[in-house]
Chain A
Amino acid sequence: EVQLVESGGGLVQPGGSLRLSCAASGFTFSSYWMSWVRQAPGKGLEWVANIKQDGSEKYYVDSVKGRFTISRDNAKNSLYLQMNSLRAEDTAVYYCARVPITMVQGVITNWFDPWGQGTLVTVSS
């Protein structure tokens, strides 16, 4: 069974740091792009970051650039998100997701599947 399990969430003060982990199982982790997506309480989904299969390319939403770092350890089938200089607006449930990418009729096509159950990060004093 393909599965993603996040951990590491919790309560942190503004300006603090937190490291999220995502353990993958049931598929060849090193063959896929991976992503972090977050959802603030009562709000919609927001893509946060992507990482290529070998970790050589990383992309971030503008609001976290310079503060968050996505990384992976293919030997441990694990994805990480190091979050520094946390702000109240970073409060959200953070999901990790696998990102299959293929070409369909000349068009690059990607999707997020599966998703983990999410881990809650609360930034508050």
Chain B
Amino acid sequence: SSELTQDPAVSVALGQTVRITCQGDSLRSYYASWYQQKPGQAPVLVIYGKNNRPSGIPDRFSGSSSGNTASLTITGAQAEDEADYYCNSRDSSGNHDYVFGTGTKVTVL
């Protein structure tokens, strides 16, 4: 099955920009989706498809992809963006199996 690798942790100064990456072979064939999870809460979708934001997600969140790497960028990070972030894509097998990334803890300084 596929694997998606993320950096375990990144930090960003308040108001600055941070990029979170997700690497995996399946990303050559499928778009990633991205989820924000705060302690004790369910995950929340922040980016899906080529670069789509669900209603209610601030436009400081954006997504991009190149080759086997997908990225989530937070432009002008806010204190409330401190959370765990997970990528997800369909498994490269082509079945309806899915795989989540290992997760990135974002700390806003």
- What residues of chain A have their CB less than 8 Å away from a CB belonging to chain B? 33, 35, 37, 44-47, 50, 52, 57, 59, 61-62, 95, 102, 104-105, 107-118
Contact = CB atoms under 8 A, between A and B. Distances in A.
Given A109-B49, A111-B48, A45 B33 contact: no
Interface of A is mostly: strand
Contacts of B96: 33, 50, 52, 57, 59
Interface size class of B (residues with CB under 8 A): 20 to 34
A107 B43 contact: no
Contacts, number: 74
B45 A113 contact: yes
A117 B42 contact: yes
B50 A45 contact: no
A112 B47 CA distance: 10
Contacts of B100: 37, 44-47
B54 interface: yes
B31 A115 contact: no
